[in-house]
Amino acid sequence: MEPVIQVTELSKTYSHAQKKAVDAVSFCVNEGEFFAFLGPNGAGKTTTISILTTTLAKTSGSVTNAGFDLDRATRQNRGKVVIIFQKPSLDLNLSAEENIRFHACLYGMFPYRPAFSLMSRAYKDRVMELAEIVGLKDSLRQPIKKMSGGMQRKLEIIRSLIHQPDILFLDEPTQGLDAVSRRNLWEYINRTRKELGTTVFLTTHYIDEAENVDTVCIINQGKIEFTGSPEQMKETLLRRELLLDAADRAALEDELKSMSVGYTIGKHIVVPTAGGVSAQKIISGLKTPLSYLNTHEPSLEDAYVELIGQKEGTAAMKRGSMFDFTARSARERLA
């Protein structure tokens, strides 16, 4: 696959700032890829996305979007990308539909007409289709001022999806959305990706939304900490674990020791099961009656918290001694 976004040694220092907000960041996003750009608050996500969408000038480095160099072909670049901003960027003086119409006409998709009824059939169908997806069909004529924050967010989503761009930048798109709307939105975005091959560049605080992406890129304090698939991230940073307990915990511990299986003790006995240790083999070898048996499949969020926690040196404190082993081994593997 061809890289559709190529970022090389990108840096940004804001005026009057001592520290770089983004520090020599490099990554690439392939055509049709679902790319999640994650990081804690102030990590540099929005700064990077603002540079990629031309709303902020970079200090150094190079960026190519959809084959267009950001410095040399800014306008062509803008024609290929669409962004849902982190902060709402709606005109509160206009109605919901007027905001959508403004956007669609600004992008040259349809000739401007002073009323919805005068717009083309294609525009009207598209607006109604998207309004249905996010549940905003009955509120299109409503003034934005009277809409809740969640409804305004839905409207921004409709506005951005009114055309089918090559690259869709989503800067925390589901912030403020209810669960049903979130699910509908992701279903629609996934469908659009499959139908049109749209590249999606996502930043989000809901790490579970990035579980199904192709690539995860973690930025922290302006620097890239990790790039790879969610599976690679989980494999690199976390181990699968077997959680055991028994009324006679001492007997259980003795059995584990005799099997040369490492473990840690927290609320339950935690046995890491990666690295050739089979959960099946451990369970079948135990004689002590178990009062608790569970397996822990790490989520992307676990891996994310682990990585960011390591950086901030707070992982162990946050997660308790039960995870000491895991955090230590992850650190060793990263080193």
Partner 1 sequence: MSTIITSGMQNRFLREINAIITIAARDVTITVKSPATLALTLFMPLMMMGMLGGSLAQNMAGGLGFDYKQFMMVGMMVNMLFMTVTMGITSITQDRITDFTQEMMVSPISRYSILLGKIAGASAGAILQLSGTIVVALLMGIHFSIWQLLSFLAISPLLCLAAGAFGVLIVAFVKTPNAANIIVMLIVMPQMFLSGAIIPINHSSGVLFVLSRAMPMTYCLDLARSVFYAGTPDYSNVVLFNPAICVMGIVTLSVFFLVFGTFFFARSETNR
CB of 197 to partner 1, least distance (A): 12
Pick the closer one to partner 1 by CB: 9 or 91. Answer: 91
Closest to 51 (Cα-Cα) out of 23, 32, 31, 30: 23
SS3 breakdown of the chain: % helix, strand, coil, rounded to 5?
40, 25, 35
Distance CA 155, CA 97 (A): 9
Phi, psi of 270 (to 5 degrees): -110, 120
Binding mask 23-52 for partner 1 (x = CB under 8 A): ------------------------------
- Give bridge partners of residue 230 from the DSSP assignment: none
- Kindly report the backbone phi and psi dihedral angles of residue 323, in degrees, each rounded to the nearest multiple of 5, phi listed first: -105, 5
CB of 46 to partner 1, least distance (A): 11
Q: Helices (H) and strands (E) in the chain — how many of each?
A: 12, 14
- Contact between 206 and partner 1 (CB under 8 A)? no
Report the DSSP pairing between strands 22-30 and 68-69.
unpaired
How many Å separate Cα 325 from the centre of its chain?
27
- The one among 5, 7, 22, 83 contacting partner 1 by CB under 8 A: 83
15 binds partner 1 (CB under 8 A): yes
Smallest gap from Cβ 143 to partner 1, in A, equals 9
Q: Identify the residue among 8, 93, 278, 294 touching partner 1 (CB under 8 A).
A: 93
How far separated are the first and last CA of the chain, in Å rounded? 31
Query: Which of 109/283 has CB closer to partner 1?
Result: 109
Please list every residue from 127 through 186 that binds partner 1, using CB under 8 A. Answer: 129, 162-164
Instruction: Select from 60, 89, 148, 291 the one that contacts partner 1 (CB under 8 A).
Output: 89
- Where do we find the tokens 């002590």? 288
Query: 3-class DSSP state for residue 295?
Result: strand
H helix or E strand, kind and range, residue 179: helix 179-196
Give the residue with the Cβ less far from partner 1, 76 or 295. 76
For the bound state, the minimum distance from the C-beta of residue 14 to partner 1, rounded and expressed in Å, comes to 6
Instruction: Please identify, using beta-carbon distances, which residue of 54 and 227 lies nearer to partner 1.
Output: 54
**Per CB under 8 A, does 118 bind partner 1?**
no
- The correct pick among 42, 111, 197, 262 for binding partner 1 (CB under 8 A) is 111
57: exposed, middle or buried (Cβ count in 10 Å: 0-12, 13-18, 19+): exposed
Binding positions for partner 1, rule: CB under 8 A: 14-15, 53-57, 75-76, 78-79, 81-83, 85, 87-94, 98, 102-103, 105-112, 114, 122, 125-126, 129, 162-164, 188, 191-192, 195-196
